[in-house]
Amino acid sequence: MDFLKNLFKSKSSRTGLVFIVEDNTAYAKMLQAYLKTNFSSIKEVELFPVGETCLLNLHKNPDAIIIDYFLDTKYPDAETGLETVEKIRDEKSEMNIIVLSAQKDMTVVMDAMKKYNCSYVRKDDSAFERVNEIMKDIFSIE
């Protein structure tokens, strides 16, 4: 996973804060519990149902943002995850971002990884394990 070390820029001071932008409340809470259980360096995990609310809180300087691609199940006019990622990059160019989605379109995957300098994790049975590996790299945990 050396490529991830190049992908994610290290921060000199960690906040211990992670944002999850996910419109599926049950999934977001499961991921929140997973992260809190597996990473002692994560002090708080904030949940946001849409990207717009996440953007309003960027001043808190999270160590990472995990964002779903589709964010319109509850709010049909909500921005997509990639639209939000673009705005995050405008404000916080070095932010560690993981796009987490059931999206199978390889164009979306390539956009997330190259254009927006993100990692992409497909929502499936092993998604949490892949998020775990990426978070280890972000927090420099062996």
pLDDT, one tens digit per residue, over 116-129 is: 889 989 999 999 99
- The full set of domains in the chain, from first to last, is 15-138 (3.40.50.2300)
Task: Work out the average pLDDT over 126-142.
Answer: 90
Residue 37 pLDDT > 60: yes
Residues 6+ apart with CB under 8 A from 78: 23, 50, 51, 52, 71, 72
Give the tens place of pLDDT for each residue, 87-106: 999 999 999 999 998 877 77
The model's pTM: 0.87
Residue 9 pLDDT greater than 50, yes or no:
no
Segment 54-81 mean pLDDT: 92
Which residue is it, tokens 């995050």? 88
